[in-house]
Chain A
Amino acid sequence: MTALLELDHVTLRFGGVTAVDDVSFTVEEGEVFALVGPNGAGKSTVFNLVSRFYDPAAGDIRFMGESILKRPPHDIARLGIARTFQNIELFEQATVLQNLLVGRHRHRGTWLLNEVLFTPFVRNEERRHRAAVEKVIEFLDLQPYREKYIAGLPYGVRKVVEMGRALALEPKLLLLDEPASGLSVEETQDVAFWIEDIKKQMGITVLMVEHDMHLVATVSDRVLALADGKMLALGTPREVQGHPAVVEAYIGAHAKSKVMA
């Protein structure tokens, strides 16, 4: 297995706060890698670094062997990295279908002139995109919501659409930012199944931030625990859950003895 994403001693500071402190890890191709940690640990910040919304103060980030630090944010999708957002950044005034179609932007084969004229080539491309999006709709069972505007949809459905939009990109690496937050038990189970299918059937590598330790334990191959921007433990879910530093960060030193590994 080759390393798909590498963070190499990455540090990021916001004014006086060090949000990410000398973090290094590798995500292997085909695995599901989870980032865990208490709030403010820097997990979403790592995502935003990979998405190139921030520039690290030190360190390198490599995707498929090449550094991405010189690339602007909109190039990241073209490389094959898709992401979801913690607070759902969908296009509110558009339908689910239109949102998913924007996910296809990376595969746009048409340009200004023939789009305005709507040549037959453009029509064929539109059919191709529509078919690709339909596959995502089938995978996520979004059929009843195709023509609905996001503004009227419940939270659970929006999270699914957000994931669908990222999948429509046909990425190599999928960044999921708290995919289960705010979801019910059944919805979280659905997410677990989807992540498994994404990994096994679609061959997409998944890097996710998550608080739900049960979900993490079920789907992840490896876990990295962060706290205050620093790395605490890296390993299988079991190893990390039982690691003393992790327990201390989550629960506190006194309760260490009461935790079952």
Chain B
Amino acid sequence: MDVLQLVVSGLANGCVYGLIALGFVLIYKATEAVNFAQGDFMMLGAYVCLGLTNEQFLGLPFWFSVPVAILIMGAFGYLLDATVVRRMFGQPQVAVIILTIAIGFVLRFVAGLIWGHQPVSLESPIAGRDVRFGGVVLGLDEVAVIIVTVLLTVLLYFYFNRTRLGIAMQASSQNQLAAYYMGIPVKRLNSLIWALAGAVAAVAGILFAAKGSIEPSIGLLGIKAFAAAVIGGFGSLPGALLGGIIIGLIEPFSSRYLAAGFSHIVPYLLLFLILVVRPHGILAQVHSKKV
């Protein structure tokens, strides 16, 4: 039973990491940009929902705030790309990484400014409730996280492989010029991708906030999610989720069974190992340059 609790809570955490990692991979697959602020997007999504729901701010009903928060974050992602990131079109990859790191700093500050630096909890109807079956007691919030994540991943998979828009996004990710020639509005698509990543981050944030309290620095979870994306395979959507789950599961077990302080290290050790042995991750998608 004990082990099952660990597994479920590890899975739930892993799903949050996986969702953030999903956001990374979405943007990377489409635009080759690495959005180091993805974790802070998650944080912002959580805070926007909290700002709409909690009594001390706007006090709107929970089930209303959730889609609104997702929409707001989607719009935020779109605008961020359209106004700022788009100017980096054609510049080396490092420039965008640095830009998004800087954006992350600013977001963290703004969130603290608006909603304060004290930890707050999202007043959601699923917090603190339990679900029982077969004599097993699990947190409803944790189960909800897992279910939502699975649904979202399946949805995204179908979107990219079956819809015209999704395939267009894949095309523009492989050769921007050729996509232009085919009449694909590459820049607008890129902004849509950022919107999608923002929305996914919002979902991750809301789920995370439903599990516990939040504060502006939770965006730094993004680093762990980043490791997850790499472990799973940085060009692969299911890989991102897989990586997140792996890390989510490793954490509680290593903190239970290894000496203190080591549980922190394990995800990054694993990351380093993967980079050295199989840099493109578990579900790899490899490209090389022709000279």
Where chain B touches its partner, the secondary structure class is: loop
B155 within 8 A of partner (CB)? no
Q: How many A-B residue pairs have CB under 8 A?
A: 7
B291 within 8 A of partner (CB)? yes
Give residues of chain A (79-109) contacting chain B, Cβ–Cβ below 8 Å: 85-87, 89
Binary per-residue interface labels of chain B (257-291) against chain A in the complex, 1 for a CB within 8 Å, 0 otherwise: 00000000000000000000000000000000001
In the assembled complex, the Cα of A86 lies from the Cα of B291 at a distance in Å of 7
- Number of contacting residues on A, CB 8 A? 7
Q: Find chain B residues with CB under 8 A from A89 CB.
A: 291
Binary per-residue interface labels of chain B (60-100) against chain A in the complex, 1 for a CB within 8 Å, 0 otherwise: 00000000000000000000000000000000000000000
Q: Find chain B residues with CB under 8 A from A87 CB.
A: 291
In the assembled complex, the Cα of A247 lies from the Cα of B291 at a distance in Å of 28
Give residues of chain A (45-88) contacting chain B, Cβ–Cβ below 8 Å: 48, 53, 85-87
In the assembled complex, the Cα of A48 lies from the Cα of B291 at a distance in Å of 8
Q: Find chain A residues with CB under 8 A from B291 CB.
A: 44, 48, 53, 85-87, 89
In the assembled complex, the Cα of A89 lies from the Cα of B291 at a distance in Å of 9
Give residues of chain A (106-155) contacting chain B, Cβ–Cβ below 8 Å: none
In the assembled complex, the Cα of A141 lies from the Cα of B15 at a distance in Å of 63
Residue of B nearest to A85 (CB): B291
Residue of B nearest to A48 (CB): B291
Q: Find chain B residues with CB under 8 A from A53 CB.
A: 291
In the assembled complex, the Cα of A231 lies from the Cα of B291 at a distance in Å of 22
Binary per-residue interface labels of chain A (225-255) against chain B in the complex, 1 for a CB within 8 Å, 0 otherwise: 0000000000000000000000000000000
Q: Find chain B residues with CB under 8 A from A86 CB.
A: 291
Q: Find chain B residues with CB under 8 A from A85 CB.
A: 291
A-B contact pairs, 7 of them (CB 8 A): A44-B291, A48-B291, A53-B291, A85-B291, A86-B291, A87-B291, A89-B291
Residues of B within 8 A of A (CB): 291
